[in-house]
Structure 1
Amino acid sequence: MKMGFEKSVAWQRHQLATMERMHRDLARYTHPVIRVVGLCGAVYLASWALVMVLGAGAWAMVVVAAVSAAALVLGAPAFVLAIGVERYARGRLEKV
Structure 2
Amino acid sequence: MRGISSKELEELKSQGWSVSEDGKKIKKEYKLKDFKQSIDLLREIQPSADALDHHPDICVYYNRVIIELTTHDFGGLTDLDYQLAVKIDEIYKMLS
Same-fold call, TM cutoff 0.5: no
The answer to which structure has the higher helix fraction is: 1
Task: Point out which structure has higher relative CO (alpha carbons under 8 A, 6+ apart).
Answer: 1
- Which one has a bigger Cα radius of gyration? 1
Name the one with the larger strand percent.
2
TM-score (ref. length: structure 1): 0.28
